[in-house]
Amino acid sequence: MNNICPSCLHENPPDVNSCIVCGTALTPTQTTSSPSVSGLHLPMGTLLKQGYYKIEQVLGQGGFGITYKAIYCPNSALVAIKELWPESGYRQGKSILWPSSIAPIDRKEQIEKFKLEAAYLQRCNSPNIAKVYDCFEENSSIYMVMEFIDGVPLSNLVTNQNPLQESKVIKYVKQIANALVVVHQNKLLHRDIKPENIMIDSSDRAVLIDFGTAREFMAGKTGDLTQLLTPGYAPFEQYSKSSKRYAASDIYALCASMYELLTGELPSGAPERAKVLLGGVSDSLIPPRQINSLISPHIERVILMGMRFRVEERIQTADELINALDGKLVSPLHQKAKDYVSKGDLINAVSTYETFLEQEPDNGEATVELALVLVYLDGERAATVAQKAMQLKPQDGRSYGVCGLVSCHRNQWNNAVQQLQQGIRLSPKEAWMHANLAWALGQQGNWESADRTIQQGLRLDANSTFALGLQAWISFHRKQWRFVVQAGTQAIFKSQNEHSQMAMTLRAWVYPFTIAALEKVTTKKGSDVERRLRNFVTQVPNNAVALGLQAWYEYRDRNLTACRQSLELACQCEDIPDWVARDRGLIDEHLNDLTSAVQWYQCRHQQIPEDAWICYRLGTVLARLNQWQDAKAYLEQAVTQDKNLAPAYRNLGWVLSNLRTVDDKIESVQDLMAAYRQALALYEVQNQNEAQQIRAMFQAIDILL
């Protein structure tokens, strides 16, 4: 006969009168062959809560509670009832006598924690979590009434069927992961996931039980967490009373359970792993396929990633674990890189991708993604990485798309078309490749093909602002003004929801030809165009094109002072287009502020000395100021730099006609005639009216050019 202590359940020799472990007095009534009738448990038939519940039998006992099978008397439904049992306590009748070693304040704390467990479970509504129906105090203790799970612990199955089939383990683990989604959404950690705490019912449903160690948490925050854990399943951070709290701690335990279910062996404990890792030795965790070669390589990767020693390298959430079990495993480092991309932090994204690929150099998906990011930072490296991606994932067209996009940025349009077409053949659902192919076709002047291609891209992604902008650009070149306005307006409107430099760049590109097309189709000249122009200036601040267009409309309306102010602001911006810089000087000329015009042209000449037009205007304005020698020098420079610049030849002839000797004769009639003859020859092709004026001027003095 066994002599079981009612306080600590130690099996004592049959001839002792007091427990050799805790000293509790042993009596014949306390000596029995079965704990179920040891005097610790409520007898069968005991009624609780004024007869609502009747105890049927003991289901099990842990360190802090006894679980009974019971009947809910009003409808005879089976329930499970958990009773708080204090350490070193004993029973007198139905009531529990708490030992003097537990102070009243500590007794109250234990009861409150038990209530919290019930409250936690009531917040977690899931078919894979035992439901809590009731919680009440009685018999100097507290009871929790729960859904009765008619089944066996998962630990029993691995004992009887060593090991379990992979497909069955995946099924059970996914169900528990679904339960953890709910648990973690409620800001809780279970903290003791193991096969013993997973019940498999008669319908083969996995149910997570025993939330006695559950605690509220905020991810990444430090808190005082009592050391309640099971070695082998608990991650290293759980061994610290003051540790940061992570949902990934439960993921570790669930993956450790998966390890045991598939291998029949408990994985190395976290303290043992810490000891060898800190000593610079390789991880003591044996890869599960070394124990059971029937485990698939993918599931081994899932288990090992879920059990990574460092929290940040582990599978982070239950949803991620479910995706991984479904074949979509993304490591935390890979996910971190993707998150950087979604935030637009491309520099950190590249660095993180590169670190991840050092660990998994054959990961084709991450290699393709790195190439896509590098397109915006370093085209040469993007092309190199894309070539490697083609080897790792030869059927993934995105690698060809990256090479095509790099060719677009290099203005290598023939190469771009070929590469993007190959990419689309392999990955026809990638809208961005259709858009960039349309761009390349447009640059080749193949506007009809470009239009068909951009339509396909928009069918795949109707909200792509880049594709809508391209449609407007293509329609502009096809002179389909209404389509320009429609697509351009949509691109601008949708881009306003994006607060990135790329969205700003797109608006700066789309606004000009949208406004130009609006001029073609609007019946109310002014109002719609002026509104769009105001929006352009407001939505794309400090933009030289926007301010330059505003100046152009102000000039058209004869508001020359406002025009000059807008052009002055435009020329303070970065990336000043040539036409804006030229208009800045011309407005000074129109206002007859020739000194300012000369200063502006000289400034531009210093910046771009090879610009023939600037030399032409600078020479012309200096001539108007009667500075003939300087005017001649700049105009000669202009015609040297651009031999087709007819106005420069004409004005050079004018300047030469004003360069006189002391006796008021033209210094070089030959140079004068040569300048006018060249101007006439060019104007005959470029501008017949100007040619006729030169011819008439010489005919008036009876000279035939």
Q: What is the pLDDT of residues 338-351, one digit of tens each?
A: 999 999 899 999 99
Decide which of 280, 296, 329 is a domain's last residue.
Answer: 329
Decide which of 406, 430, 454 is a domain's last residue.
Answer: 430
How many Å apart are CA 586 and CA 645, to the nearest integer? 17
The answer to whether residue 6 is domain-embedded is yes
Q: Are residues 369 and 387 in the same domain?
A: yes
Q: Tell me, what's the pLDDT at 23?
A: 58
3 state SS of 83: strand
Name residue 69's beta-bridge partners.
57, 80
Q: Are residues 160 and 135 in the same domain?
A: no
Directed axis angle between helix 318-325 and helix 166-185, to 10°?
160
3 state SS of 133: strand
Q: Tell me, what's the pLDDT at 35?
A: 39
Q: Where does the pLDDT of residue 620 fall: very low under 50, low under 70, confident under 90, or very high at 90 and above?
A: very high
The answer to whether residue 263 is domain-embedded is yes
Q: Cβ(245)–Cβ(220) under 8 Å?
A: yes
Q: Are residues 207 and 342 in the same domain?
A: no
pLDDT at 64 over 80: no
Tens of pLDDT along 394-444? Answer: 999 999 999 999 999 999 999 999 999 999 999 999 999 999 999 999 999
Q: Are residues 209 and 311 in the same domain?
A: yes
How many Å apart are CA 250 and CA 211, to the nearest integer? 12
The answer to whether residue 34 is domain-embedded is no
Q: Are residues 212 and 298 in the same domain?
A: yes
Task: Give 265-320 as a DSSP string.
Answer: SPPPPHHHHHHHHHTTPPP-PPPGGGT-TTS-HHHHHHHHHHT-SSGGGS--SHHH
Q: Tell me, what's the pLDDT at 160?
A: 63
Task: Give 548-569 as a DSSP string.
Answer: HHHHHHHHHTT-HHHHHHHHHH
Instruction: Say what the pTM is.
Output: 0.65
Tens of pLDDT along 559-606? Answer: 999 999 999 999 999 989 999 999 999 999 999 999 999 999 999 999
The answer to whether residue 534 is domain-embedded is no
The answer to whether residue 35 is domain-embedded is no
Q: Cβ(200)–Cβ(206) under 8 Å?
A: yes
Q: Are residues 363 and 232 in the same domain?
A: no
The answer to whether residue 288 is domain-embedded is yes
**Span of 221-225, 236-240, 420-424 with lowest mean pLDDT:** 221-225
Q: Are residues 85 and 231 in the same domain?
A: no
pLDDT at 36 over 50: no
How many Å apart are CA 674 and CA 694, to the nearest integer? 13
The answer to whether residue 66 is domain-embedded is yes
Q: Are residues 192 and 325 in the same domain?
A: yes
User: Average pLDDT of 324-350?
Assistant: 92
Number of compact structural domains in the chain: 5
Residues composing the chain: 705
The answer to whether residue 569 is domain-embedded is no
What is the CATH number for 610?
A: 1.25.40.10
Q: Are residues 301 and 390 in the same domain?
A: no
From residue 232, alpha-carbon distances to 235, 286, 289 in Å are 8, 13, 18
Decide which of 147, 168, 197 is a domain's last residue.
Answer: 147
Q: Which residues of 382-412 are buried (b: 16+ CB within 10 A; e: fewer)?
A: bbebbebbbebbeebbbbbbbbbbbbbeeeb
Q: Cβ(496)–Cβ(509) under 8 Å?
A: no
Domain that holds residue 50: 46-147
Q: Tell me, what's the pLDDT at 219?
A: 42
Q: Are residues 85 and 137 in the same domain?
A: yes
User: Average pLDDT of 120-142?
Assistant: 93
What is the CATH number for 122?
A: 3.30.200.20
How many Å apart are CA 372 and CA 487, to the nearest integer? 26
Burial class (CB in 10 A: 0-12, 13-18, 19+), 659: middle
Q: Are residues 139 and 158 in the same domain?
A: no
Q: Are residues 214 and 275 in the same domain?
A: yes
